[in-house]
Homo-oligomer: A and B are copies of this chain.
Amino acid sequence: MKKLKRSARLVEMTQYLLARPHTLISLTAFADRYQSAKSSISEDLAIIKEVFADEGIGDLSTHAGAAGGVRFVPQCRKDVALQQIKSIISELQQPDRLLPGGYLYMTDLLGQPGMMQEVGRMFASAFADRNIDVIMTVETKGIPLAHATAAFLNLPVVIVRRDHKVTEGSAVSINYVSGSTKRIQTMSLARRALKEESRVLIIDDFMKAGGTIQGMVDLLHEFRAVVAGVGVFVESGEIEHEERLLQDYVSLARLTEVDLKSRHITIQPGNFFDLSESI
C-alpha cells in the first residue's frame, strides 16, 4: 500500500478496523501496512478510539506486549439502543400485524438490513465477553439475526434444519416438543457443522415457552457442546415465568399483551434494557 498522509491514513484505518471486529491487529502490522512509525499509528488509534467511544460505535482495546495490538469491540450505547428498540416496537405494535391464532407478522422487519444491524449490534454488545466459538439458530426467521450478530462478533453461524437435507451430509436429529403448541417436531444439524465442546450462542427471533430453544440446547448436548448464551429478539410475556423452560436469556423486546378483539398489541423493551451494567 502506498504511503498515506495522516488524514488519508485515518480514513483507511477506520474502515480497516470496522471491517475486522474482535480481531487482534498488531501495531507492527499497521506500521508495515502504512509505512509509518508505531508512534504515529498509536496517535491515530487514540483519535479513532475517542470517536468510536463518543459515538457509541465500540471500544478499541489495546493490548500491550510483544503479542500486543488493538482490537475493535463493537458496542452500542444503551440510550441509542433503547431509542432503536422503541422505534422497532412501534412498528411491531401496528394492528395489521396480528395474524390468525394471535401470531405477529414480523418477517418484513427481519428483512431490513439496517434494522438487523442495529439488533445484531445489541446482541454483540450483550454477549461480547462470553468467549463464544459459534452462533446457532434454527431456520428460517432467526437466520438474519444470527448473521447480523455474527458479523459484529466475527464468529461463524450454524443453522439447525427442520428437516434433514441431502446437501448437509450425515446429521444428528432430535425430536422436541414445542412448548406452546405441545406438538412433537424434529430438528437436525449436520454432523460436520459443530466441533465437540464448542461454546455456542443461540439466537432466535421469538420465544414463547422456549421449547424450540430447549430443543437446540438438547441438540448441543448430542454434540457435547456448551450453551454460552441465549438471545431472543422478542419474547412472549404471556407465559408464566415458571412455565418457561429456560430462565437465562437476553431478550430485546417483550410482547406483554395481545387483545385479539381490539387488535391491540403491547410490546415493551426486553430484559437487555433491565441490566444495570453499562454496555
Name the distance in Å between A156's Cβ and chain B's nearest Cβ.
5
How far does the alpha carbon of A177 sit from the alpha carbon of B213 in the complex, in Å?
34
Closest chain B CB from A30 CB (angstroms) = 15
Q: Is A207 an interface position by the 8 A CB rule?
A: no
**Contact across chains for A107 and B11 when beta carbons are under 8 A apart:** no
CB 8 Å contact bits of A1-35 with B (1 = contact, 0 = none): 01010111011101100110000000000000000
Pick from B147, B154, B155, B192: contact of A144, CB under 8 Å: B147
Which residues does chain B contribute within 8 Å of A155, judged by CB atoms?
A: 113
How many residues on chain A are close to B (CB under 8 Å)? 57
Q: Is A114 an interface residue when CB atoms closer than 8 A count as contact? A: yes
Question: A135 → chain B, closest Cβ, in Å?
Answer: 9
Chain B: CB-nearest residue to A206: B167
In A143-157, the 8 Å CB interface with B consists of: 143-144, 147-148, 150-151, 154-157
Chain A interface (Cβ < 8 Å from any Cβ of B) = 2, 4, 6-8, 10-12, 14-15, 18-19, 47-48, 50-52, 54-55, 57, 99-101, 103-105, 107-108, 111-114, 116-117, 139-141, 143-144, 147-148, 150-151, 154-159, 161, 166-169, 190, 192-193
